[in-house]
Amino acid sequence: MAPGALVESDSTLLAPTSGKLDIAPTLYAGVDEEQLREKSKAHLINYGTKFHDDVIIGSRGMYIYTASGHRILDWTSGQMSCLLGHGHPEIVKTIHDHAMYLDHLFSGMVCPPVISLGERLCKALPDGLDKAFFLSTGGESNEAAIKMAKVYTGKWEIVGLGASWHGMTAQALGAQYHFGRKGQGPTIPGQFMLPSPNAYRSEFRKPDGSYDWEAELDYGWRMIDLQSTGNLAACIVECIQSSGGMLVLPPGYLKAMKKHCEARGMLLIVDEAQTGVGRCGDFMAINHEDVVPDILTLSKTLGNGLPLSAVITSDEIDRVCTENGFLFYTTHVNDPLPAAVGDKVLEIVFRDNLVQHAREVGKVLHEGLQKLKSRYGCIGDVRGRGLMAGVEIVASRETKEPALELAKSIGDTAYKLGVWANLSSHPSFGGTFRIAPPITVTAEQIQEGLDMLEKAFAETEGTMPLY
């Protein structure tokens, strides 16, 4: 189904995904928002974030709806996951059919949707990514990948990048350096960090002022070698560090990283939780870099908002791990229902040529954001690729001093106007808006969001209009 087609999930609503909805989804219409807020405070644990004041009662296509009647253009695809938009009719039907006839099995059983997803996914990936298994979350898939690297190599030291985010489970958390490491005592032993590849802020510069990522990467590995006990098992990286502020690996960086890994007899793991399945204008970000990692992990986009993740590796790594007793047996490993959704997501992405669509519509997004940068001096940097973009807000382009309060004011105004772009106030994030709409978004909806975002800059004091 092409972007803009009619969608229908119940008898109360029929509307185009590319236009304004005349009525909001009615599943929770008429709720008492203030009462729900009080119940939320009374019964929900704080898991590290302040809840938004608005209670969300509906989602459809590109939009989410609040109990107070506010419609918001969702420029983060939920938690960067609803690749095809909310309530896609084919995804809804797949969920319905499998909830009715093939939902959950004993973990040692296999079924058609899991086999089909494995085949479709592996055939779309380069040689060397030959076999897959399926889990629930990105953290879980990275946990499994790290364990697999340790079992395969017989070694135990793991390298990650500064500003990385790989999940909340023990080994994944130990390899991430953006946020969340404090308060629980030691992480997994043998964890090392390379400098974050931040082209905008790195101190490694060539005489002409350009980013010298080669010198930075070589320096980082020299530091790792000094600390290592000779047990380097793997390095895990993201091609675009979304949680770290949409930091894009420079051209050639991933190839250089793989050479560093090969020289040390360690594996390269690439985490494509947010970049995978077309969002960046390539099926996988590794396709753009022309690099085949030893292990690839997917999550978020693969399940279109349902808990589904994947670990993909080579026949040889699978063979050795099997011989060495690799175990990652969970309640929901290779579950039929989410696997069926993932298989349907891939079918739609390929059938509707959505990778090319993301590349083309992404140009509209980035051109619009660059135009905003030319108009407002508080925008220090615009970066990203395809339908992933970061807009970093600064107090001064000369000093690059972060302007977190200004960024928050802009974000609050944009939200009130009707567009949601995630902004973290955490200092390591640098006051950067993260933009990642569903890849079914139309150029008209991108322009709609850009118009609201520009109005937010215009209405917020301190944005430093340049003309």
Residues with a known catalytic role: 165, 238, 271, 274, 300, 434
Beta bridge partners of 58: 65
- In this structure, which amino acid lies at residue 133? F
Question: Which residues is 194 bridged to in the sheet?
Answer: 161
**Cα-Cα end-to-end distance for the chain:** 42
DSSP 395: S
| Alpha carbon distance 337, 95 (integer Å) | 7
**CA–CA dist 199, 216 (Å, integer):** 11
CB burial of residue 320 (10 Å; 0-12, 13-18, 19+):
middle
φ and ψ at residue 209, rounded to 5 degrees: 90, -5
Around Cβ 370, how many Cβ atoms within 10 Å? 13
Q: Rounded to an integer, what distance in angstroms lies between the CA atom of residue 467 and that of residue 464? A: 9
Contacts of 301 (CB under 8 A, 6+ apart): 77, 80, 81, 83, 273, 274, 276, 277, 278, 279, 345
Please name which of 377, 372, 386, 381 lies closest in space to residue 414, comparing C-alpha atoms.
372
Residues 6+ apart with CB under 8 A from 406: 378, 393, 395, 431, 460, 462, 463
**Of 308, 296, 358, whose CA–CA distance to 124 is shortest?**
296
Strands laid side by side in the 419-420 sheet: 56-60, 63-66, 71-74, 419-420
